[in-house]
Structure 1
Amino acid sequence: MTNKTLRILIADDQHFQRLKIEKILNQLGYFRIAPVRSFDEIETLTCCPSKPFDLLIISTALVAALDIDLEAFCRDNPLIRHALIYDSRQAQLPPLPEPLPPTLQLSLSGAPGSELLKRLMAMIDPPPQRHGLQVLPWLRGLSRGRVG
C-alpha cells in the first residue's frame, strides 16, 4: 500500500521533465508533489523549520552555473530525507567500435524513467510486512459455535 503522506519535491528547469516525473509518481500513487524550477525555490522550501520532504528529485542542471555541492546540500539538509540527483543533459550515444561486439553495455545519463522511480519508491516506501492471516477472537468463537 502506498504511503500517500510522503512529500516529494521535483526540481528541474525543464517544465516538461518536471511534468513527466510527476506523472510517473502519480501513477505509482504519490500525489503530495511540489514541482520547482530553480535552486532558489528549493532553498526557500527547505530553509525554515517545517515538515521535511521525504524525497528530492533534482536535476544537476539547476546548480550547473552555481558553486554548490549538490550531494553535500542534500546530505546536510535536515528537511531532505532522501535525494535522487540526475543529469538532465541530453543523453549522447558514445561512439561505437566497428564491428560491433556481440554484447554491448552502455551507460547513458538522463532523467529517471518509470522503472527506476518504481524501484526507488519501493525502497523509500516499502510495502507493509504481512505476517499471515490473523484470526479475530470473536471469529474463532463463532467458528466453535459460541457467540459471546
Structure 2
Amino acid sequence: MSNKALRILIADEQHFQRMRIERLFNQLNYYRVAPVHSLEELLTLVEYGCEPFDLVVINASMAGDALDLLDFFRDNAQVRHAFIYEGQRAELPPTSDGDQQNIQVSHTSLPDLASISRLMSLIDRRLPSVGTGISVR
C-alpha cells in the first residue's frame, strides 16, 4: 500500500518526460508530485521548502557543470532520497537497488514503471508512517 503523503519532486527540462514520469507515479497511487523544468526551480523548492522531499527524480543533464548532484543530495537534509537518471551524461557511476543507498543513479534515458515501483517499495518501507515513529513495512 502506497504512502499517499510522500512528497516527490521531478526535475527534467523536457515537459513530455516530466509528465511521463509523473504518470508512472500516479499509476502507483502517488499524487503529491511536483514537476519542475529548471535547476533553479529545483534548488529554490529544496532550499525554501518547509518540509523535506521524500524523493527527487532528476535528469542528470540538468545539473551540467553547475552542481555536483551526488554531493548535493548526499549532504542535503531537505531530500531524503534521490534518483538520478541519464547518469552516463554526467559520468556518474550507476548504483543498483541492492546498494540500499539514499541516492540511486541509473544510466537509462528515462525511468520505467518497474524501476519506479522498485524504488518506491524501498522508500515506502524505509520512511516512518506519517504522525508516528513507526516504520512502514
Q: TM-score range by the shorter chain?
A: 0.7 to 0.9
Amino acid across the alignment from 1:123? L
- Closer, same or farther in 2 for the Cα pair 1:71/1:3, shift >3 Å? same
- How many correspondences in the alignment? 112
Deviation string 1:73-103 (CA, Å, 9 cap, x unpaired) is 111111000000011889xxxxxxxxxxxxx
What residue is the counterpart of 2:30 in the other structure? 30
Pair 1:34–1:55, CA change in 2 (3 A): same
Whole-angstrom distance in 2 between the partners of 1:111 and 1:26: 16
Is 2:46 the partner of 1:46? yes
Given residue 48 of structure 2, which amino acid in structure 1 is its aligned partner? C
In structure 1, C-alpha distance between the alignment counterparts of 2:78 and 2:3, rounded to whole Å = 18
Tell me which amino acid in the other structure corresponds to 2:28: L
CA contact (8 A) 1:8 1:32 kept: yes
Identity of aligned residues (%): 46
Corresponding residue of 1:73: 72
Contact 2:5 2:32 in 1 (8 A): yes
Question: 1: CA distance between counterparts of 2:120 and 2:107?
Answer: 21
How far apart in 1 are the matches of 2:11 and 2:78? 15
2-side partners of 1:88 and 1:74: how far apart?
A: 14
Which residue in the other structure is 2:95 paired with?
Answer: none
Contact persistence 1:61–1:89 (CA under 8 A) = no
Is 2:11 the counterpart of 1:16?
A: no
Aligned alpha-carbon RMSD (Å): 2.3
CA 1:78 to 1:110, structure 2 compared with 1: closer, same or farther past 3 Å? same
* 2:123 equivalent to 1:124: yes
Deviations 1:21-48 (A, max 9, x none): 0000000000000000111001110112
Indicate conservation of the 8 Å contact 2:85/2:107, yes or no: no
1:106-125 paired onto structure 2 within 5 Å: 109-125=108-124
TM-score normalised per structure 1: 0.69
List gaps (5 residues or longer) in structure 1. 91-106, 130-148
Q: Give 1:4's aligned amino acid.
A: K
Distance 2:81 2:45 in 1: 15
What's the TM-score, normalizing by structure 2?
Answer: 0.75
| 2:56 aligned counterpart, secondary structure | strand
Q: Aligned partners of 1:89 and 1:108: how far apart in 2? A: 5
Equivalences for residues 79-90 of structure 1 within 5 A: 79-87=78-86
